[in-house]
Amino acid sequence: MTVLDACLSPHVVMAQRDHVRLEWRRPYPALGRVRSVAWTCFCRATVYELCEGAGRAFLRRTVQRDGGDDEVHETSTWPVGEARVIWTALLSGRAR
């Protein structure tokens, strides 16, 4: 099976030269219950998720490492609508 056959989730495209640089920080438990509402394909080492909770949303970036010691960073939170716009920008290479 090729990678393409297995992929159901979107991949991020290469970041544009003038893309918005998001601030990625160490995660901290601030929002309480959070659910992942969108995510990129796990076939890539770096997986992005759109997470929502308590009317706010943020992006989570996980770098999958061999041995399971994943590296996780998150953005600060935005209103849900704003976060969805940023999520779309991330997927299309306009933010990263």
Q: How far is the CB of 37 from Zn ion (least distance, A)?
A: 19
Positions in the binding site for Zn ion (CB under 5 A): 7, 41, 43
Q: How far is the CB of 15 from Zn ion (least distance, A)?
A: 17
Between the alpha carbon of residue 52 and those of residues 30, 42, 57, 59, 89, the distances in Å are 12, 20, 4, 9, 17
C-beta closer to Zn ion: residue 39 or 78: 39
Q: How far is the CB of 45 from Zn ion (least distance, A)?
A: 11
In whole angstroms, what is the distance from residue 9 CA to residue 11 CA?
A: 7
C-beta closer to Zn ion: residue 34 or 47: 47
In whole angstroms, what is the distance from residue 13 CA to residue 92 CA?
A: 6
Count CA atoms within 13 Å of residue 82 on its CB side: 9
C-beta closer to Zn ion: residue 4 or 28: 4
C-beta closer to Zn ion: residue 45 or 72: 45
Identify the residue whose tokens are 């759109």. 50
Q: How far is the CB of 65 from Zn ion (least distance, A)?
A: 18
